[in-house]
Chain A
Amino acid sequence: QKEVEQNSGPLSVPEGAIASLNCTYSDRGSQSFFWYRQYSGKSPELIMFIYSNGDKEDGRFTAQLNKASQYVSLLIRDSQPSDSATYLCAVRNNRYGKLTFGQGTILTVHP
């Protein structure tokens, strides 16, 4: 079992729809959870981080964490073509420690 698993996609949604990206992790000691967006040929950029169970909202993005189920998700509301990218879930099990990345989910938002 991979440490961090994501659906590789591609996930295709129409413009204006909600895109839902999912991630599961195997280490119950994981403490910090991150979502990064990576455009083709570019490095990852941080979208959100979440530490506590529940939802965290930032603009069109909502991260959801359920530690009991070892599950973290990212919802993108009002999806735009510019949201088309690979979304990487990353998990860290101690403060300042290394991140373990999932393989990424390719999202395509079509007009």
Chain B
Amino acid sequence: GAVVSQHPSRVICKSGTSVKIECRSLDFQATTMFWYRQFPKQSLMLMATSNEGSKATYEQGVEKDKFLINHASLTLSTLTVTSAHPEDSSFYICSASQQSTDTQYFGPGTRLTVL
């Protein structure tokens, strides 16, 4: 149980384009999902907290107009990187909080490369 999926696993795009990443909790309902970014040899940095049916809460320094988050259902959250630039290239990881166990489970991550 407690499986979280992400799609796509890897994406390469041109500078200026937008990329959407999906995060799904497959076998549980996740009232809260989190989006992280991880640069090489660094730890995870929380970008935003997403609650189903409400606006996401962004961490300081994260541009909400650039990283659009939608959490339309209890099993799906999406992150859209708008007008991506090479400096946005990173490993994006979502996690979902399983309410019954109070534990976050991570998706497999999406590696974004912006050319």
B34 within 8 A of A: yes
Number of A-B contacts (CB under 8 A): 41
Max chain A CB contacts within 10 Å: which of B42, B44, B49, B109? B44
A44 CB to closest chain B CB, in angstroms? 5
Please count how many residues in chain A sit with their CB below 8 Å of the partner chain's CB atoms: 19
Q: Which of B11-19, B62-70, B71-79, B100-108 contacts A (4 or more CB under 8 A)?
A: B100-108
A46 to B43, CA, bound (A): 15
Please count how many residues in chain B sit with their CB below 8 Å of the partner chain's CB atoms: 19
Task: Take A95-B102, A96-B102, A101-B43 as given contacts and tell me if A42 and B97 are in contact as well, using a CB distance cutoff of 8 Å.
Answer: no
Chain B hits for A102, CB < 8 A: 43
A102 to B43, CA, bound (A): 7
Please name 27 pairs of A and B residues whose Cβ atoms are closer than 8 Å in the assembled complex, sorted by A. Answer: A32-B102, A34-B104, A42-B109, A43-B106, A43-B107, A43-B109, A44-B44, A44-B93, A44-B106, A45-B106, A46-B103, A46-B104, A88-B43, A88-B44, A95-B102, A96-B31, A96-B32, A96-B97, A96-B99, A98-B46, A98-B49, A99-B34, A99-B46, A100-B46, A101-B44, A102-B43, A103-B43
A106 to B93, CA, bound (A): 20
Chain A hits for B31, CB < 8 A: 96
A101 to B42, CA, bound (A): 11
